[in-house]
Amino acid sequence: MKPIFLWKIRELNKPVLKDDDGDGIPEINSLDEIKPFLIALQGKDKFGNPVANHPVLIKGGFLYHLDKKGELEKIKHGQAGSLDFSLSHNVVSGSSVIGARGCKDCHSKNSPFFLKKILIDPYDEEGNSVYIENWERLGIDQEKLSRLLLEQ
């Protein structure tokens, strides 16, 4: 997979999209919008070159593409998730770094680290943002979360 140049997207004859969340910008979020957008991406750019040979949309943990019959297929895909990051208790120093004031910066009842909301999908099929808390994203179960939040 490789990204498509933004100028190709801007010049594309795009299908009509709805503004589901009312912010004035239409989203590609419903299956009825994703399929025609992928079909449009099969067109040519202003130089006569294909915009994409096999266009896909990656969002919310899924890869969307058109199968051999031209039908929309939605596949759970490892590369469609959010990017992971390394966790370390000895990365940098400084007074504004989380953890600089001690363990309770993260390991507390209202932890700004473990309970932080992480955006998973900017727009679900109804146009709503989808979030999970960081502990869920990291694969921590409720029992371990209670220990990490020092709720013993």
The pLDDT tens digits of the residues spanning 70-114 come to 999 999 987 777 655 555 555 556 676 666 677 778 888 889 889
Say how many domains are in the chain.
2
Whether 54 is covered by a domain: the verdict is yes
Whether 1 is covered by a domain: the verdict is no
Tell me whether residue 6 is exposed, middle or buried, using C-beta atoms within 10 angstroms of its C-beta: 0 to 12, 13 to 18, 19 or more: exposed
Whether 47 is covered by a domain: the verdict is yes
What percent of the chain stands above pLDDT 70? 86
Whether 75 is covered by a domain: the verdict is yes
Q: How far apart, in whole angstroms, are the C-alpha atoms of residue 47 and residue 38?
A: 19
The pLDDT tens digits of the residues spanning 21-68 come to 888 888 888 999 999 999 999 999 999 999 999 999 988 889 999 999
Residues 15 and 73 in one domain: yes
Whether 96 is covered by a domain: the verdict is no
Identify the domain containing residue 34 by its residue range.
6-80
Whether 92 is covered by a domain: the verdict is no
Which runs of E-coded beta strand occur in 5-129?
A: 56-59, 62-66, 72-76, 117-121
User: Is residue 84 within 8 Å of 50, Cβ to Cβ?
Assistant: no
Whether 43 is covered by a domain: the verdict is yes
Average pLDDT over residues 114-138: 91
* pLDDT at residue 135, rounded to an integer: 92
